[in-house]
Every structure is written in C-alpha cells, then in structure tokens.
Amino acid sequence: MHIHILGICGTFMGGIAIIARQLGFKVTGSDANVYPPMSTQLEAQGITLMQGYLPEHLDPEPDVVVVGNAMARGNAAVEHMLNTNMRFMSGPAFLAEYVLRQRWVLGVSGTHGKTTTSGMLAWILEHNGMNPGFLVGGVPCNFGISARLGSDPFFVVEADEYDSAFFDKRSKFIHYGARTLIINNIEFDHGDIFEDLNAIKKQFHHLVRTVPGNGQIIYPDSDANVRAVLEKGCWTPVAAFGDSDWEARAINADHSRFTIAHQGKVLGEVTWNLLGKHNMDNATAAVIAAQHAGIPVANALEALVRFENVKRRMEIRGVVDGVTIYDDFAHHPTAIATTLDGLRNKVDGARIIAVLEPRSNTMRLGTHRDTLAGSLHAADQVLMMQPGDMSWSLEDVARDIKAPAKVFNSVDDIINELVGIRKPGDHILIMSNGAFGGIHEKLLQKLRAP
C-alpha cells in the first residue's frame, strides 16, 4: 500500500509517516519546508520527501492521500487530489483506522503539558518491560524519535484539540478512542479556530463522550474548566489529583523532589532533573494512567527517576563562561509563567533573561495580549522579537512588564544585546514554538568567539 502525506514535515504528520513505514507501507510526502531535523529523521526511515505541493507528486496515484491540517483549498496538490477523485483522509483518521482500532489507547489531552506527559507515560511503560506504540508532539529523549508503532497493546498518543483537516473541523482527539484519558487542563488557546473557551470545552465534552465505561479519565481537581466539562456528563470512572485521593507533595522549592500519595498513604518519591509544579502534576497524571494500564505505582516512580525530558522543554543548549542557555517551547502565557517560575525556584536570586518569540497563531491574533506581560513577572530582563507579519505591537506589552523589557525586529539584534549584557551566572531562557531563526546556536557561537 502506498500513502502520500501532504504536510509531512510537521511533528504530527512526520510521526504518522514513521508509523506507516513501520506498518510496511510505501510512504512518500510533500511539504513546503523540507529541512532537518524532521527531513533527516524521515529519510532515515526510507521515506521519499518532495519539496512543495505539486500535482505531479501524486503521480503515480497513491492508494490514499493523508492530508495534514495545514493544507487548505487552493493548494495545487489538494485541488489535483479532489479533481481526480483520489481517496483521502486526515492524519487522525489514518491513525485511528490503521493503528488504534485494536489497541489500548492512552490519550493525553489538555492545553498544556501534553507532550511532556505523553513522553513520561510512554517511558513508564517502556521501562517496565513493555514495547508501547506512541505518537508524541516532540522527541522524548529516552526514545530519540517522536513516534513508534510498538508491539504491545498499549499506544500512547498526544491528544490534541486542534482540528483534523480542512474537511474535518473536529478536534483530532475525537478520532482516537482513548480508553485511558488524561485531561491536564483546559484554557483558551488556538484562537484561529476556536471563537471562545466554550467552543473548546464543547470539543472536550465530545472527547469525554468517546471514552468507554471500562476506561478511566484522569484530571486535576483544581481546574474549574475540566470540572465543568465533566459535569456536563461523564460515563467513565474518574481519578482526580491535587487535593483529592491522589496528591503530589513537593519536598523542595523547585519541585525536583516530590512524593506521590494515594488516599493519604505515601507510595514513593521522585528525584529528577525536571522543574516546576506543572511537571510534578504531569508526573502524577502519568503515574495514575500507568496504574490503570497495570503498572504498580512504585514501578512507575522508579521509571520517572530515569525520565529524560522531551527536547525543547527547558532543554539546556549550552553553558559558556557561566551563562546557561535554555530552549523551551512555551508559547502561551500560562506555560511561560510556569516555566519561568520553575526556573526561578531553581536558580533563586540569579539573573534570568527571558527571550520570547510570540509565534503561534493565537499570539499573533492578539488573543493573549493582555496577559502576556504578567506571565513574564519572574524574569529580571525581557527581550521580545516582533514578528514582521503581526498586526499589533509588542511595545504595549513591554511597557507593562515590571522588569526592563525591549522589543527587537531581528534575531541578530537580540543576540548582540545578549552578548552585551550577559554576566557569569546568568540564565538565558529562550521561548518559542518555532525555530526562532536558529538563535540558540548563533548565540552560543557568538559567546564562544574570542
């Protein structure tokens, strides 16, 4: 069977490609941006990549065209596919039909923490002698790859609320049929496809309706939006954590040591390299989900001690002359705030310089404009990149930030500023959900130069 993937170099669609290849299918794909690391990862799997979206990429005709959600009407390949009556489906639909139908699906959903929690859950299963399948929106360092078919019944999937395709505006997670479901949190995001928070909550309740009665839904009892979704109707046993039966208790300020208790009984302790209450909560959810799949809590905690975080989640890219450079995917005010708070608790009074590129569609629309300044409160200095195609100015945000803040129009100007102000002991936290013009390596090279 031959499948062709439109938009193959996105993290999710690239994962679909890897799994399809492991199923034994012939896989080809097109994308507007065919470049490393995704291109090299896919080519190493024997997948043929094509630059752009040309009709001739679909000749000879594949058995099915898998259409990424970045594709739209007017795209030359899409128009050719429709005009010639080719068989096509969305990425989530392909995953559901060819992989998930006979699997025990462990879905990880929510506005924040999906990728990290999915990586934790897959690693807990792996560490306990299983060979789970997984599809994660990043690269868990324990595995070195974003997706795998696996041979055991269990399949861990990052269950995203974003839409499936231009012809299917349901959230991706509706397709997956999760038996074990984590809902980490619910906030407003993806302002380019959701008109308000209620529209998002509606999709999450559609998700709840798909979880079977012999499944389990895991959620934080402190999240009012999740509770409101479940109160609309829930037909599945639930496990709440926080001030509930399940509770994680921090031992130190940066939450890198904590215990997990169930019904007041401490079941074990974790000491790891991750920071922040949000990661402690992610771990709690993963432990509960793993227990539902048959992994004893003590075994799950042992696995977490050996967990290596997903790339681009507080990843240290280098240390030069006492200056530490971090790369983090944070792009929503809540994620920015929790990331900064975790780092602040670790480094105490050391100076933190936050460098932010507001790149997501929601940021560019200005949806989070009023809450962005407050999310940066833990930084000592803030540098922000003004996207050229954004209709509103970051200068308004900069004026509301308590710390000294500047707005720049180029990556080189930011790098020059950082080189000029950095001091030994500084922590430079770079936040973006994109490549940010290669700023991390460029900055490291400049700091290492004589």
pLDDT of residue 275: 83
pLDDT of residue 299: 96
Same domain, 120 and 30: no
User: pLDDT tens across 178-197, in order?
Assistant: 999 999 999 887 767 888 99
Same domain, 85 and 166: no
pLDDT of residue 366: 67
pLDDT band at residue 199 under the 50/70/90 scheme: very high
Same domain, 165 and 276: yes
Q: Rounded distance, CA 363 to CA 408, Å?
A: 17
pLDDT of residue 121: 98
pLDDT band at residue 210 under the 50/70/90 scheme: very high
**Of 305, 339, 359, at which residue does a domain stop?**
305
- Show the domain range for 202: 102-305
Work out the average pLDDT over 312-341.
86
Q: Exposed/middle/buried for 315, CB within 10 Å: 0-12, 13-18, 19+?
A: middle
More confident residue, 248 or 244: 248
pLDDT of residue 232: 96
**Of 305, 337, 354, at which residue does a domain stop?**
305
- Is a pLDDT exceeding 70 seen at residue 36? no
Same domain, 148 and 282: yes
CATH of the domain at 361: 3.90.190.20
Same domain, 343 and 215: no
- Is a pLDDT exceeding 70 seen at residue 319? yes
pLDDT band at residue 85 under the 50/70/90 scheme: very high
- Backbone angles phi and psi of 144, in degrees to 5: 75, 10
Average pLDDT, whole number, for the chain? 91
Q: Rounded distance, CA 234 to CA 377, Å?
A: 38
**Domains in the chain, number:** 3
Same domain, 241 and 106: yes
How many other C-beta atoms lie within 10 A of the C-beta of residue 95? 26
Same domain, 231 and 279: yes
User: Taking the mean position of all CA atoms in its chain, how far away is CA 8?
Assistant: 17
pLDDT of residue 26: 96
Q: Bin 385: left if φ > 0, else alpha if -120 < ψ < 50, else beta.
A: beta
pLDDT band at residue 400 under the 50/70/90 scheme: confident
Same domain, 206 and 138: yes
- Is a pLDDT exceeding 90 seen at residue 373? no
Give domain status of residue 310, yes or no: no
Work out the average pLDDT over 380-407.
87
Work out the average pLDDT over 3-18.
93
Same domain, 340 and 260: no
Same domain, 67 and 187: no
User: pLDDT tens across 419-442, in order?
Assistant: 999 999 999 999 898 788 889 899
